[in-house]
Amino acid sequence: KQEVTQIPAALSVPEGENLVLNCSFTDSAIYNLQWFRQDPGKGLTSLLLIQSSQREQTSGRLNASLDKSSGRSTLYIAASQPGDSATYLCAGPLTGRRALTFGSGTRLQVQP
């Protein structure tokens, strides 16, 4: 059974810092990995999708990497801003399935 773990559970940083969020999964049969952002009481916003054939993906100040052999993915946020404050979730389906298994998320607070 796929299990996804996110570390740390919560993070508070001053504005401008670069930071790394970690995601680990137990089953290397993960097909791809997706990072989401969730604001309180809202739905999920897709940030980055790393397909199984890729090792990393970039969008603006965000960079996500995927290492299937070690069961790890990281989300790097450069020059953090107060507007980045949210919960960040990673999730992935097993090969051949569309059901996503989610981590419990990292709650990020960026202090102005």
Query: Which residues here bind other proteins, judged by CB under 8 A?
Result: 31-32, 34, 36, 41-46, 49, 51, 89, 91, 93, 97-105
Q: How far is the CB of 3 from other proteins (least distance, A)?
A: 12
For other proteins, the closer of residues 46 and 111 by Cβ is 46
Q: How far is the CB of 52 from other proteins (least distance, A)?
A: 9
Q: At a CB cut-off of 8 Å and minimum separation 6, what does 40 contact?
A: 87
Q: How far is the CB of 93 from other proteins (least distance, A)?
A: 5
CA distances for 47 relative to 6, 29, 58, 64, 95, angstroms: 16, 22, 9, 9, 21
| One-letter amino acid of 50 | I
